Structures are given as structure tokens and as C-alpha cells.
């Protein structure tokens, strides 16, 4: 679907869950920069950076109510205190062109904008980041675009990660078809073939009697988080926000991953209030 925003440039179609995930991004990025912004004195970070390799055109349109709003790269650009540098990329050159036109002249010096596959771009980006750089990455795939190896590379640097794990709309929906072939997109996405032994895979293959879909999907999330812990993301939020569609079908879990207890504490603080402004009931999330 091709959409144009009020500025005449390309926009990305969105729904209510898009707003929800972007609210989490805005809140965490603001808290992250407020806490981590450089201050005079030894031991401070050399730079604070933001990475978004599936950034889109920068504007989204809620197709249910025909209302537009800023996408992740423009949200990150507007965060105060400012990120020292932003590394933005998208595989679609038209998205990149639209985003470039939306970036102000004043902001362009602190932006590196590229066109290409996120799994290829990451190596060059990480080469340009020193060991004294602290970063925040927002990875928001529609399906299986991001290889596990890419996440593992991020885990080797001091980078906090907000990752939209497509537990329902991507993984659960496609498992049966993936099981029918020896090689599938799931292998690179998962970082191996061990996903075939998960409870949900056994259920899709007809070899498990587990009927609770909530437990089944949670097993996918837990297993994926464990793999990320093993490659270096040692601090994680075990109660990942779940996004559902208008029919209440599970779509994504928003995983928070870090190397530092401070980052996890910040995340849990901002997560106490939902995107709609409501505090969760006791014992939930």
C-alpha cells in the first residue's frame, strides 16, 4: 500500500499497535538520554548513539483513523538531550529518500543514512563505533528480515536493544510451513535449527497435545531470550509487553535487552505506565 503524508512524501501504513511500540521507544529513549548524557569528568561515554536499520520513511499513517505521526527515526532525532549520532538505514531506497527529505539541515550532520540490508550494513556501522560508545538500537522487523547473527553482533557492543519479536504474526503463523522444508527463513532468523524442538513447533507438527496458546507462544519468547542471553544480552525484562491486533490476536512481544542493570532499571520504570497512560494492575507485567 502506497501512502503519502501531508508533506507529499511517502508514509508507512500503521495501526494502533504501531503507536504503542513507538510510545515505548520515545519514553525509553528520553529516559536513556536523560540518565546517560555526557557530563564533565572522567569515565564518561565518548558518544551516545542511536541505531535503526529498518527505519522506514519517518512518517506513519494510522489507516484506521487516517491520522499521521512521526516514525521511529524522527522520534529519535527529536529526543532531548540529543543523541550524538544516529545511524539510520532501510532496504527500500524510496523510504530512505523520503526520510532524508524530512531530516532538517541542522540535524543532518549527526545522521548517517544508508540504503541496504540491515544484516550487511551492521558491520560497517559497528566499525565506526568505538568501545567507549553507548548506544540504543531499535529493531522493528515485519517478519524475518533480521538474522540472529545481526542481533549477536549488537550484543558484543555496549548497546541497549528494543526488539520487536514477531512471536505471533511471524513465527507462530509460519511454523507449520517452515517445518515442511529442510531450509527456511526461520533458520537464519533463529540462529540455527533448534527451533524445531520447541513446544510450538511440536504442536504445529502434530506431536504435542499442548492446547494453551498463551503458554505455547511464551515458550517461543523465552527460548529466544535465552539465546540472546547466551550471546551477551545478560540483562532482560522477563515481562515483555505484548501487542495484539483489533481481534486480540497476539502479534509481537517487545523485548528489552541490555548489558547493564541500570538500563534495565530505567526500562522497568518507564514500563510501569502503559502507552495509554494506565498503570498495570498489581501482579501484571
The DSSP secondary-structure symbol of 175 reads H
> Would you call the peptide bond into 263 cis, given omega within 30 degrees of 0 as the criterion?
no
Q: Are 221 and 165 in contact (CB under 8 A)?
A: yes
* pLDDT average per 10 residues of sequence, the chain (285 residues): 90 91 97 82 81 97 93 98 97 98 97 98 95 95 94 97 90 87 94 89 72 65 94 95 82 94 95 65 35
Domain boundaries of the chain, sorted by first residue: 3-37+46-167+234-271
Residue 152, judged by CB atoms within 10 A of its CB (0-12, 13-18, 19+), counts as middle
Q: How far is Cα 76 from Cα 170, in angstroms, rounded to an integer?
A: 26
CATH no., domain 3-37+46-167+234-271? 3.40.50.150
Per-residue pLDDT, 246 = 77
Q: Are 195 and 144 in contact (CB under 8 A)?
A: no
Per-residue pLDDT, 190 = 96
Cell numbers 503463523 label which residue?
A: 173
Q: How far is Cα 137 from Cα 177, in angstroms, rounded to an integer?
A: 31
Per-residue pLDDT, 202 = 81
Amino acid at each position: 500500500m502506497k501512502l503519502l503524508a501531508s508533506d507529499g512524501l511517502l508514509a508507512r501504513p500503521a495501526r494502533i499497535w504501531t503507536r504503542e511500540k513507538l510510545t515505548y521507544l520515545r519514553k525509553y529513549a528520553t529516559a536513556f538520554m536523560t540518565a546517560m548524557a555526557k557530563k564533565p569528568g572522567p569515565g564518561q561515554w565518548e558518544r551516545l548513539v542511536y541505531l535503526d536499520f529498518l527505519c522506514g520513511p519517518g512518517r506513519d499513517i494510522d489507516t484506521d483513523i487516517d491520522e499521521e505521526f512521526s516514525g521511529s527515526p524522527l522520534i529519535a532525532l527529536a529526543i532531548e538531550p540529543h543523541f550524538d549520532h544516529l545511524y539510520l538505514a532501510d532496504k527500500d531506497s524510496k523510504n530512505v529518500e523520503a526520510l532524508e527529505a524530512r531530516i532538517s539541515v541542522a540535524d543532518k550532520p549527526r545522521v548517517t543514512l544508508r540504503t541496504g540490508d540491515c544484516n550487511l550494513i551492521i558491520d560497517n556501522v559497528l566499525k565506526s563505533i568505538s568501545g567507549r560508545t553507548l548506544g540504543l538500537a531499535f529493531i522493528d522487523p515485519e517478519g524475518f528480515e533480521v538474522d540472529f547473527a545481526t542481533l549477536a553482533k549488537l550484543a558484543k557492543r555496549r548497546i541497549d536493544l528494543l526488539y520487536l519479536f514477531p512471536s505471533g504474526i511471524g513465527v507462530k503463523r509460519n511454523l507449520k510451513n517452515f517445518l515442511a522444508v529442510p531450509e527456511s527463513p526461520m533458520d537464519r532468523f533463529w540462529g540455527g535449527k533448534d527451533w524445531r524442538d520447541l513446544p510450538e513447533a511440536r504442536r504445529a507438527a502434530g506431536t504435542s497435545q499442548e492446547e494453551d496458546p498463551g503458554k505455547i507462544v511464551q515458550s517461543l519468547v523465552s527460548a529466544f531470550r535465552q539465546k540472546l542471553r547466551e550471546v551477551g544480552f545478560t540483562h532482560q525484562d522477563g515481562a515483555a509487553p505484548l501487542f495484539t491486533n483489533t481481534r486480540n490476536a497476539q502479534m509481537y512481544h517487545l523485548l528489552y535487552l541490555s548489558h547493564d542493570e541500570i538500563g534495565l532499571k530505567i526500562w522497568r520504570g518507564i514500563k510501569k505506565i502503559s502507552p495509554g497512560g494506565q498503570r498495570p494492575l498489581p501482579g501484571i507485567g
